[in-house]
């Protein structure tokens, strides 16, 4: 199935519906909003401002929705007032989405929108992002997952069609290691450092990870920080902000995520980066199961292991194996 076929599947899902979208202005939600603006009966983009987002995040969402000429509503939720979230446990991303999606759903239903969706794509299901469980719990629709669209394909379509979007929309709390409390001071320091680097380079994605005395700088274009000895002034500025050591992650940020399975001689395997909830996955698979125990589920030619290892058998080629794996991903339920 080519990219245009997948886009047409999404259009058919959205067509003539009253669509409400959890909207960040990033690639995924932007493409959903764009397609809905073309085929839906009505479209409402709902943005949550949790006070932990990059500078100009809210303004960027306003600009994109105005460009598409769709309705836009902003919800203000001060996450600093939520003690559970600020404690920054390993389930923080789940808690964050729980807070945001509850408000998005409330507003969408109040405004009469009966099709509530987000921009999760099939690539999100092979990354350690427990927030997807909230998408299922709140019964949000996921057109990109249904169409098996990857992040790479979404970026390709946006770029080819010159659709404006923003690449840096992730919560700044993700820069702080889990089990280390999030504070206003830390977020303020991270925001300042990222803004400083952004304003002095042409990087579209900048992340400064706060490891107490050490800052790890991550960029989408490392060459930008090496030009004209910029790294020296950036090093000095970040040290002024309280870091004792400033390091550069040599692996550039690449948000063109796609899925590649390990296929050979009719067999494939894929190790997911999370464990699988066998009981909840069983509920999704229903009559497809040929064998099940507490650690494993077997289907006709697929095996799902609690440790996240997926195996496939008797596939005539890579394409059919990959398609079957993507179809299975829709039904897998992970642990937080």
151-160 and 3-14 are packed helices; what angle lies between their axes, rounded to 10 degrees?
A: 90
∠ CA 135-137-139, nearest 5°, is 65
- Per-residue pLDDT tens listing for the chain (336 residues): 899 999 999 999 999 999 999 999 999 999 999 999 999 999 999 999 999 999 999 999 999 999 999 999 999 999 999 999 999 998 889 999 999 999 999 999 999 999 999 999 999 999 999 999 999 999 999 999 999 999 999 999 999 999 999 999 999 999 999 999 999 999 999 999 999 999 999 999 999 999 999 999 999 999 999 888 899 999 999 999 999 999 999 999 999 999 999 999 999 999 999 999 999 999 999 899 999 999 999 999 999 999 999 999 999 999 999 999 999 999 999 998
Q: Are 105 and 116 contacting, i.e. CB atoms less than 8 angstroms apart?
A: yes
Entry pTM? 0.94
Is residue 31 packed enough to be buried (19+ CB in 10 Å), middle (13-18) or exposed (0-12)? buried
């Amino acid at each position: 199935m080519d990219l245009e076929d997948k886009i047409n599947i999404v259009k058919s899902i959205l067509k003539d519906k009253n669509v409400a979208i959890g909207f960040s202005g990033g690639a995924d939600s932007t493409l959903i909003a764009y397609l809905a603006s073309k085929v839906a009966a009505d479209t409402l983009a709902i943005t949550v401002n949790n006070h932990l987002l990059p500078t100009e995040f809210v303004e960027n969402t306003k600009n994109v929705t105005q460009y598409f000429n769709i309705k836009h509503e902003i919800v203000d939720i001060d996450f600093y007032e939520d003690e559970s979230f600020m404690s920054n446990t390993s389930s923080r991303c789940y808690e964050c989405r729980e807070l945001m999606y509850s408000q998005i759903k409330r507003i969408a239903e109040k405004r009469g929108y009966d099709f509530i969706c987000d921009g999760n794509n099939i690539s999100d299901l092979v990354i350690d992002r427990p927030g997807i469980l909230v998408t299922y719990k709140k019964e949000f629709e996921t057109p990109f997952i249904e169409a098996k669209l990857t992040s790479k394909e979404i970026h390709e379509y946006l770029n080819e069609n010159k659709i404006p979007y923003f690449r840096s929309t992730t919560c700044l709390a993700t820069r702080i290691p889990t089990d280390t409390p999030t504070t206003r001071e830390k977020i303020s320091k991270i925001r300042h450092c990222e803004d400083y680097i952004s304003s002095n380079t042409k990087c579209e994605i900048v992340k400064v990870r706060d490891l107490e005395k050490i800052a790890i700088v991550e960029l989408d274009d490392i060459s930008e920080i090496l030009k004209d000895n910029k790294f020296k002034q950036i090093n000095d500025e970040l040290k002024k902000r309280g870091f004792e050591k400033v390091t550069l992650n040599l692996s550039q940020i690449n948000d063109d995520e796609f899925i590649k399975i390990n296929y050979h001689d009719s067999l494939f395997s894929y190790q997911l980066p999370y464990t699988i909830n066998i009981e909840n996955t069983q509920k999704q698979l229903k009559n497809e199961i040929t064998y099940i125990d507490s650690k494993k589920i077997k289907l006709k030619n697929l095996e799902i292991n609690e440790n996240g290892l997926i195996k496939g058998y008797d596939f005539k080629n890579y394409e059919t194996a990959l398609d079957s794996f993507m179809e299975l991903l829709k039904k897998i339920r992970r642990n937080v």
